[in-house]
């Protein structure tokens, strides 16, 4: 698959999420923040929409596993594991996606489309694949939920 196609595919993910968030953003974000608060043993007020789960709230990968299960049952959806990372790479080959762990410009471009809730300046050259989860915020997970809701609504 060509790179143009793969960007189209990621734009579909983006649009699918945007469409759902247009009407349900507040509700999805509230439920998502509550789930995060419960997983991390925090007060909901601490879980601000743009807090980094890992750097601000001390989450680790285990907490993400727990969170995804909770979101799946709260919203009655299926979330593919490693979904964000996999969607980011999409049809890019490993070499097109990263070199020595450092994300390529093509990968960064995809991230900017996929994660509009993150300040685009944070997707700067030199960012590594392993650092992507550091960017995850409650808004990221709300968007992930919205994408899955959007997909299930269109039956794909």
Partner 1 sequence: MRFLLIDRILELVPGQYAIGVKHPAMSEDYFADHFPGFPVVPGVLLVEAMAQLSGRLITYSVAAEAAKRPGGESEAKVLPVLLTVNNAKFRRFVRPGDSVLIRSELLALSEDAGRCKAVATVNDVTVASAELMLGFEAGGGSTIIPPEARARIASWAEEVNRALLTGARVGPARADVKEQT
Nearer to partner 1, 20 or 71 (CB): 71
Nearer to partner 1, 83 or 116 (CB): 83
Nearer to partner 1, 123 or 136 (CB): 136
Q: What's the CA gap between 57 and 9, in Å, rounded?
A: 32
The tokens for 122 are 């944070």
β partners of residue 99: 102
Q: What's the CA gap between 40 and 36, in Å, rounded?
A: 6
Name the site residues for partner 1 (rule: CB under 8 A): 62, 65-66, 68-69, 72-73, 80-82
Nearer to partner 1, 50 or 130 (CB): 130
* Closest C-alpha to 97, from 142, 128, 118, 139: 128
The number of beta carbons lying within 10 Å of the beta carbon of residue 121 is: 7
Question: Which residue matches tokens 């789960």?
Answer: 53
The SS3 of residue 37 is helix
């Amino acid at each position: 698959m060509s790179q143009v196609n793969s960007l189209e595919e990621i734009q579909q993910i983006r649009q699918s999420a945007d469409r759902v968030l247009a009407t349900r953003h507040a509700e999805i974000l509230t439920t998502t923040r509550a789930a995060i608060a419960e997983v991390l043993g925090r007060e909901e007020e601490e879980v601000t929409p743009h807090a980094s789960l890992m750097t601000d709230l001390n989450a680790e990968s285990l907490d993400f596993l727990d969170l995804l299960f909770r979101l799946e049952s709260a919203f009655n959806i299926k979330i593919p594991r490693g979904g964000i990372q996999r969607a980011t790479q999409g049809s890019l080959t490993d070499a097109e996606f990263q070199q020595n762990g450092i994300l390529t410009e093509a990968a960064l471009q995809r991230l900017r489309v996929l994660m509009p809730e993150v300040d685009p300046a944070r997707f700067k050259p030199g960012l590594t694949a392993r650092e992507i989860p550091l960017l995850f915020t409650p808004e990221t997970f709300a968007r992930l939920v919205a994408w899955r809701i959007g997909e299930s609504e269109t039956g794909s």
